[in-house]
Amino acid sequence: MRKIIMFSGSNNPKSINEQLLSAVAQKLNDKQVEKIKLTDYNTPIYSQKIELEGIPDAIKKLFQLFTTADGFIISSPEHNGLPSAFLKNIIDWISVIDQRFFNDKPVLFISTSPGKVGGATHLELLNNLVPLWGGKKTESYSLGSFNDNFSKEEQTISNSSEDAKIDIVLKAFLNNK
């Protein structure tokens, strides 16, 4: 895999999902990784009325960037058992350009939360939607009990068994062509 685009589905500047994404990016130091901030592509809440005015330029730029990727790693926060409204809005907009915006490329969803299941509830939902969006499903990963299993100072997963789990998931993702 030549180029991996990574981003968090959070618009919180102190997001723990952004921190998890950074830790995963460190593990891919020999790969070409482009870590982007979706807040740079922020747009109004999708509506058909707004769409009649045209697709926002930020979304067009994001779609073009997506076409350059060989795979995607998305750290998605869970809000009441669902993906964030911020992430959903980006997906709503980009799917107007092309419903299959992942273009037959592998997609890895990761998540974390302070709770024990680490946002795992919504990952199944997202993985089930990946084929609709034109992506290849891979395994997903959730880090539960973020505050107990993550070193904020080192920006790494501090629990060795959890660190081994993410390594296995990353290997499967990288081998999914």
Q: In Å, what is the CA distance from 57 to each residue of 21, 93, 100, 122, 160?
A: 26, 11, 19, 29, 43
- CA 103/CA 135 separation, integer angstroms: 6
SS3 assignment, position 131: coil
**CATH architecture assigned to 3-175:** 3-Layer(aba) Sandwich (3.40)
Full-model pTM: 0.96
- pLDDT per residue of the chain (177 residues) written in tens, 0 to 9: 789 999 999 999 999 999 999 999 999 987 899 999 999 998 999 999 999 999 999 999 999 999 999 999 999 999 999 999 999 999 999 999 999 999 999 999 999 999 999 999 999 999 999 999 999 999 899 999 999 999 999 999 999 999 999 999 999 999 986
Q: What are phi and psi of 145, to 5 degrees?
A: 50, 55
Q: What are phi and psi of 156, to 5 degrees?
A: -140, 160
What's the pLDDT at 31? Answer: 82
- CA 86/CA 55 separation, integer angstroms: 17
What's CA 161's distance to the chain center, in Å? 22
* Burial (0-12, 13-18, 19+ Cβ within 10 Å), 152: exposed
Domain definitions of the chain by residue range: 3-175
